Amino acid sequence: MKTIEYDRLKALFYARRWAFARNPRYYNFDGLGGDCTNFVSQCLYAGSGVMNPTPVFGWYYKSLNDRTASWTGVEFLYRFLIKNTAEGPFAEEVTLPYLRIGDVIQLGNAAGDFYHSCLVCGFRNGIPLVASHTYDAFNKPLASYIFAKARFLHIKGVGAP
From 54, 98, 50, select the one nearest 76 (Cα to Cα). 54
Using DSSP's 3-state secondary structure scheme, residue 81 falls into: helix
How confident is the prediction along the chain (161 residues), in pLDDT tens digits per residue?
A: 899 999 999 999 999 999 999 999 999 999 888 999 999 999 999 999 999 999 999 999 999 999 999 999 999 999 999 999 999 999 999 999 999 999 999 999 999 999 999 999 999 999 999 999 999 999 999 999 999 999 999 999 999 98
Residues 6+ apart with CB under 8 A from 63: 27
Type of residue at 146: I
* Number of residues in the chain: 161
Domain limits, the chain: 2-160
CA 144 to CA 158: how far, in whole Å?
31
CA 6 to CA 33: how far, in whole Å?
28
CATH code for the domain defined by 2-160: 3.90.1720
CA 20 to CA 43: how far, in whole Å?
13
The overall longest dimension of the chain from CA atoms, in Å, is 42
Residue 78 belongs to what H/E stretch? helix 74-83
Residues 6+ apart with CB under 8 A from 73: 37
